[in-house]
Structure 1
C-alpha cells in the first residue's frame, strides 16, 4: 500500500520537473530515512550537551577566580573566532588520529566515532555562545537580590544556583533559543566527515540520480521543521518562565 502511494506521489510530481524516483528504491529510501534519524539524534544530543557546557563556562567566567575565568575566556575567544568546520577537521583528523595512535600503541582501539566528534565539536562551539548569553544574564541580576541571598547565608555556589542562574536563564532565553536554532542547522557539518546524516545520505543519492534540487528541497524542509520545533519550544518556555511584572 505504501509503495503504491509513493508511486502515485512520484508520478504526480514528475510533470512539475521534480524527480523523486529514489523513494521507490528500498535501499535509497532506507538510507534517506536513516539520514533523517541521524540528524535528529545529533540535535537531541548536542542541544543538552551544549547547554550544560554553556552553564559550566558561564559559571567559570563569572566565578571571580582568575584560575577559572582566564582559561574559560581563552577557550571562548578561540572557539567563537574560528569556523566550526575547521574545528571539526582539527578534532577528527588531528586529535582523533593522535588518540588512535596512542591507543594502538597500547594494543587498544579508538572507541571515539565520527558521530561523537560531531556532537562534541558542535556542542562546545555553541556552548561558548550560550556562556556569553548567560554571563550577560548573570551580570544583569539586580545587586539587591544578591545582597538578599547573602543575608540568608547563601554561599557563592548557592547564590549562583539558586539566584543568579534562574534569573539569568530568563534574561538570556531569547538568545539561547536563537543559538539552539543555529545549532540545529550547524549539525549539517557532520557530512564533512562522512557521518550518515540527511545531508550526507542525500549527497550519496544525488551522485547516482542527478536529482540535487529535489533532495535539497527535502533537506530544507527537514531542517525547517526541526528549527521550527526548537523555536516553538523556546517561545513556550519564555511564556511559562516569565515573571509577572518583573522588568516592566
Structure 2
C-alpha cells in the first residue's frame, strides 16, 4: 500500500517536471534517509560540544591570567579567521594521517573516524564564536553584582560558575542561538571527507540519476526544518530565561 502511495506521489511530481523516482528504489531511499539521520546526529553532537568549547574558551579569555588568555586568544583568532572547510581538510588529511601513522607503529587502528573529525572541527570552529558572545556577556555583568558576590566570600571559580556565566548566558543567548543555527548548516561540510550525511548521499544519488534540483530541494527542506527547530527552541529558552527588568 505504501509503495503504491509513493508511486502516485512520484508520478504526480513528475508531471510537474520533478524527478523523484529514486524514492521508489529501496537502496537509494534508504541511503537518503540514513544521510538525514547522520546529519541529525552531527547536529545533536556538535551543539553541546561547541557550547562546552565556548564556555571553556570564555573562561580562559576572562581569567585575568595572561598565560591563559594569550593562547586562548590566539586559538580564537586563528579559528574564526580561517574557513571551516580548510580546517577540516587540515585536521583530517594532515593531523589524522600523523595519528594514523603513530597507531600503525604499534599495530593498532586509528579510532578517529571522519565523523569524529567533523564533530571536533565544527564544534571548535563554532565554539570560538560562542566564546566571544559569552565573553561579551561576562563583561556586561554589572560590577556591583560582582562586588556583592565577592563580599559573600565567592572564590574566582564560584564567581564564574554561579554568577558570571548564568548572567552572561542570558545576555549572550540571542547570539548563541544565531551561532547554533549557523552550526547546523555548517555540518554540510561533512560531505567533503565522505561522511555519509544527507549532502553526501544526495551527491551519490544524483550522480546516477541526474536529478540535482530535486535533491537540492530536499536538502534545503531538511536543513530548513533543523534550523527552524533550533530557532524555536532558542526563542523559548530566551523567554524562559529572560530576567525581569531587562528587555521589557
TM-score, structure 1 length as denominator?
Answer: 0.99
1:128 aligns with 2:124: no
Q: What are the equivalent positions in structure 2 for 1:56-75 lying under 5 Å apart?
A: 56-75=56-75
Deviations 1:212-241 (A, max 9, x none): 000000000000000000000000000000
- Paired residue for 2:188? 188
Q: CA deviation at 1:48?
A: 0.2
When residues 18 and 247 of structure 1 are mapped into structure 2, their CA distance, relative to the original with a 3 A threshold, is: closer
What's the counterpart of residue 30 of structure 1? 30
Q: CA deviation at 1:247?
A: 5.5
Report the Cα distance in structure 2 between the residues aligned to 1:113 and 1:217, rounded to whole angstroms: 29
Give, in whole Å, the separation in 2 of the partners of 1:32 and 1:247: 44
Unaligned runs of 5+ in 1: none
d(CA) in 1 for partners of 2:5 and 2:164?
55
Report the CA distance shift for 1:157/1:214 in structure 2 as closer, same or farther (over 3 A). Answer: same
Mapped partners of 2:147, 2:171: distance in 1: 19
Render the CA deviation track for 1:185-217: whole Å, top value 9, x for unaligned.
000000000000000000000000000000000
Q: Any stretches of 5+ residues in structure 2 without a counterpart?
A: none
Q: Match for residue 109 of structure 1?
A: 109
More displaced stretch, 114-123 vs 100-109 = 100-109
Deviations 1:24-81 (A, max 9, x none): 0000000000000000000000000000010000000000011111110000000000
1:141 lines up with 2:141 in the alignment: yes
Question: d(CA) in 1 for partners of 2:180 and 2:236?
Answer: 14
State the aligned residue count.
248
Superposed, 1:22-101 pairs within 5 Å as 22-101=22-101
Alignment of 1:161-180 (within 5 A): 161-180=161-180
- What is the TM-score when the length of structure 2 is the normalising length? 0.99
Q: Give the CA deviation at 1:107.
A: 1.3
- Measured in 2, the distance between the counterparts of 1:198 and 1:181 equals 17
TM-fit CA distance, 1:246: 3.1
Q: Which runs of 4+ in 1 moved over 4 A?
A: none
Q: Distance in 2 between matches of 1:109 and 1:247?
A: 54
